[in-house]
C-alpha cells in the first residue's frame, strides 16, 4: 500500500482491515500481501497447515510483531501506522499502546502471571493500563471469573489450577480490558482432551451472549463449523479459500483446502 495516500476505511466499515499486509522473517515470507476484512461482531476461524501464517495474523494484529508492508486498520483508524501530514508513518509505541487496548488475546500456553492469584491476574491490567480503581477492577474481575465458572478459584495461583481452569482465567483476564475484538490462538491445543469441552463452552457462550468480534486460530474443525460465521483457509501466507463453515468445511473448492481437510479429518 502507498502509505502516502492511504485509503482510510469508513468508520462504519469492518472493525478490522488488513490491506496488502506482508510479514517476513529474513527470506521467509509468512504473510504475503494479505487482504482481510472482519465485520463487527463476526466470528472468524482461521485454519491451515503449520507455517501457513495463521498465528502471525493474530500476532501482527495484537502488535506483538511489526509488519514489513501494508497497513492494518482497527475500528476505522490505522493501527500499525499513525497519521503524518497527508500520509502515514510507522506507529510509535505510545500510539500502539493507545490503540491495542481495543484488542484482547488469549494464548495457547495461558501466559498467566504465576505469582498472582486468578483475581490478581484479572485486575492487574485494568488498574495499571486503564487506570481503573481497585474496587471497580475487582468487581469487574469477579463478574468475569463467575462468567467463566472460576469465581470459586479467584484466590488460587495458576500452579493450583488445571490447564482448563487456567485457560478460563486467561479468557477472563483478556475480557477484563473490555476489548472490541478477541483473538484466540489455538486455545485448546495445550489442554487434555477431557477439558477441551469446558473451554469451548466458555467461548461458545461469549460468542452467543456478548457483542464481541472474535478471530480464532483453531484445529478443532467441529467447533469451527459450529461457532463460526466464516472460516478462512490459509496457505503460504494467503487466504486460499474462505466461506461459511458449511461451504468451506463441507464442500471445499480449492485443492489445497481439500487435501488439508482430508488430512485433519483422517487424523481424527
Contact 35, 20 (CB under 8 A): yes
* 214: enclosing H helix or E strand: strand 213-217
Q: What is the pLDDT of residues 113-159, one digit of tens each?
A: 999 999 999 999 999 988 999 999 999 999 999 999 999 999 999 99
Q: What is the pLDDT of residues 170-204, one digit of tens each?
A: 999 999 998 999 999 998 888 888 888 888 888 88
Backbone φ and ψ of 245, nearest 5°: -55, -40
d(CA 160, CA 143) in angstroms, rounded, equals: 21
Average pLDDT over every residue of 50-75 = 95
pLDDT for 49 equals 95
d(CA 161, CA 248) in angstroms, rounded, equals: 37
As beta bridge partners, residue 52 has none
Question: In 3-state terms, the chain is what percent helix, strand and coil (to 5)?
Answer: 40, 25, 35
Backbone φ and ψ of 174, nearest 5°: -65, -40
Under the banding of pLDDT at 50, 70 and 90, the label for residue 211 is confident
Q: Considering only CA atoms, which of 225, 187, 229, 192 is closest in space to residue 212?
A: 229
As beta bridge partners, residue 213 has 181
Q: Where are the domains of the chain?
A: 113-178
Backbone φ and ψ of 259, nearest 5°: -65, -45
Amino acid at each position: 500500500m502507498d502509505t502516502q495516500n492511504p485509503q482510510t476505511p469508513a468508520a462504519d466499515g469492518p472493525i478490522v482491515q488488513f490491506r496488502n499486509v506482508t510479514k517476513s522473517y529474513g527470506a521467509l515470507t509468512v504473510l504475503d500481501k494479505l487482504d482481510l476484512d472482519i465485520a463487527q461482531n463476526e466470528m472468524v476461524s482461521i485454519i491451515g497447515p503449520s507455517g501457513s501464517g495463521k498465528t502471525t495474523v493474530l500476532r501482527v494484529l495484537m502488535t506483538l510483531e511489526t509488519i514489513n508492508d501494508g497497513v492494518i486498520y482497527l475500528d476505522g483508524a490505522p493501527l500499525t501506522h499513525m497519521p503524518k501530514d497527508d500520509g502515514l508513518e510507522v506507529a510509535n509505541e505510545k500510539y500502539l499502546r493507545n490503540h491495542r487496548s481495543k484488542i484482547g488475546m488469549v494464548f495457547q500456553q495461558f501466559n498467566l502471571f504465576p505469582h498472582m492469584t486468578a483475581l490478581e491476574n484479572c485486575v492487574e491490567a485494568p488498574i495499571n493500563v486503564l487506570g481503573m480503581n481497585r474496587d471497580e477492577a475487582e468487581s469487574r474481575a469477579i463478574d468475569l471469573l463467575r462468567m467463566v465458572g472460576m469465581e470459586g478459584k479467584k484466590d488460587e495461583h495458576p500452579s493450583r489450577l488445571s490447564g482448563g481452569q487456567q485457560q478460563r482465567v486467561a479468557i477472563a483476564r483478556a475480557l477484563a480490558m473490555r476489548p472490541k475484538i478477541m483473538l484466540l490462538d489455538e486455545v485448546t491445543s495445550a489442554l487434555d482432551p477431557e477439558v477441551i469441552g469446558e473451554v469451548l463452552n466458555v467461548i461458545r457462550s461469549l460468542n452467543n451472549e456478548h457483542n464481541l468480534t472474535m478471530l480464532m486460530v483453531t484445529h478443532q474443525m467441529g467447533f469451527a463449523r459450529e461457532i463460526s460465521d466464516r472460516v478462512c483457509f490459509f496457505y503460504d501466507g494467503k487466504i486460499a479459500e474462505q466461506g461459511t463453515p458449511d461451504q468451506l468445511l463441507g464442500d471445499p473448492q480449492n485443492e489445497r483446502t481439500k487435501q488439508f481437510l482430508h488430512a485433519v479429518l483422517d487424523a481424527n
